[in-house]
Amino acid sequence: MSLQADPLAGFENAYTQARVYLMQNPQWALFSSLLLLQEEVMDHPEVNTAGVDGKRLYINREFFMSLPNKAQRATLLAHEAMHVALKHMLRGELITDELQEKWNDAGDYVINQMLKEDGFEPIKGWLQDDKYAGMTTEQVFKQILIDPPPPQPTGGSMGKDLLPPKDENGNEPGTPQEQQQAMAALSGQIDMMVRQAQQQAQAMGMDPGKMPAEIQAYLDKLLKPKLPMAQHLRRFMKEISNDDYSWRKTNRRFRPMLLPGLRSDNKLMHIAFAFDMSGSVSKADYTRYMSELYGVMRNIKPDKLTLIQFDTQIKCEDRIKSVRDMANIELRGRGGTHIECVMEWAKKNKPAALIVFSDGEYAHPTFNPGCPIVWLIHGHRKEQFHCDFGRTILFDV
């Protein structure tokens, strides 16, 4: 009696080999790290090759196993990881349904050009043309509309691989408001995944290597906050605190001698961020908020970091300990704005500092909660913002 091979086991083995192959090249570290952060690998009826929705990786097992070697399978995985990194499923949200396939093709041309230049083994039928070298996805999309490329000998694109975002149960959002919330949440989650992938690549001693211009510009925007937030916060805390010496914290320069270290009564132990998630706040605003929060977490390293989302009331309160926690944040809100709920929370919890990100379009708070506050205000009405307490910093997203 002969035993038949388990096709699922064969696929899982091939998938693992392709992923390991991808990780063995330090220049591809970002690709492999992003793959490891995808939630699931599963089949999808609309996917002929492979696809992504921003959180999940879908693979057509029959197609995957038909590829001749692990190098081409690694190419396929890197291709899908780049769709996520470039947010192609989000950036094309305003494009009409009849042009979505061309947007997908534009993304394929951009990614495959990157992969070719980085030495990936091409897959038969992939969309690649050197004339698109150095172009962004939007530029390639416009060029395709003006001057459509000839059909590929094998019949064209490898198939649809950009899928709409879904909720935890795998369902697509229904109402326009739910769709907007899902898009904004996914954008923030992808930002966090890219940050975490970058950190993992560096922790493994890998150099991400030469990044394509579109990826590098995105990483620079994401990983380098525009505001020197840590400096603002340190300066603010120094101004409002009474610096003294305490035997509870030893100055490391004089160890093992027991000498006092400088410690503030308002020490940076608990920092709270409050994000205005009202309907007037955009996805770009939220991305900027998260970028600055990441900068504080990395540079200040508070003992406790709390993230509050609010509109007319506090929608959720999350404890942030790592980049992974940031990646798992779900966006809430999208109603009006009422700052009193945040003031009540601060009065009760007494953080060492409260940092409020908002467009400032709400009624003036009626009371001071009694903790240091930094108001970070943006938007077209930011110049009109005024508060009798706290430090106000105006900025552009």
Residue 312's closest CA among 336, 346, 331? 336
What CATH architecture does domain 229-394 belong to?
3-Layer(aba) Sandwich (3.40)
Cβ proximity of 300 and 268 under 8 Å: yes
Q: DSSP states of 148-176 as a string?
A: PPPPPTTSS-S---B-----TTSPPP-SH
Domain ranges of the chain: 7-211, 229-394
d(CA 126, CA 145): 19
In tens digits, what is the pLDDT along the chain, a chain of 397 residues? Answer: 333 445 567 888 998 898 888 877 766 666 666 666 665 678 776 788 998 888 788 899 999 999 999 999 999 998 998 888 888 888 877 677 788 889 999 999 999 998 998 889 999 989 999 999 888 898 999 999 999 888 765 544 566 778 777 666 666 666 767 777 777 777 777 777 777 776 666 665 555 554 556 666 666 666 666 666 656 766 776 665 544 333 333 334 333 333 333 334 444 578 999 999 887 677 777 777 888 888 778 777 888 899 999 988 999 999 998 877 887 777 776 667 889 999 999 999 999 889 999 888 888 899 999 998 999 888 777 788 888 888 888 877 6
Please count the other Cβ atoms lying within 10 Å of the Cβ belonging to residue 133: 14
Report the C-alpha dihedral over residues 109, 114, 118, 120, rounded to 10 degrees. Answer: -30
* Helix (H) or strand (E) run with residue 58 in it: strand 57-59
Using DSSP bridges, classify how beta strands 373-377 and 243-250 pair: parallel, antiparallel or unpaired: unpaired
What single-letter amino acid sits at 157? S
Residue 59's closest CA among 48, 74, 75? 48
Total residues found in the chain within this entry: 397
Q: DSSP states of 2-53 as a string?
A: PPPP-HHHHHHHHHHHHHHHHHTSGGGHHHHHHHHT-S-EE--TT-SSEEE-
Helices (H), 245-377: 283-299, 323-327, 340-349
Long-range contacts of 127-136 (CB under 8 A, 24+ apart): 127/152, 127/156, 127/157, 127/158, 134/213, 135/110, 136/110, 136/214
d(CA 370, CA 233): 17
Distance, CA of 159 to chain centre: 26
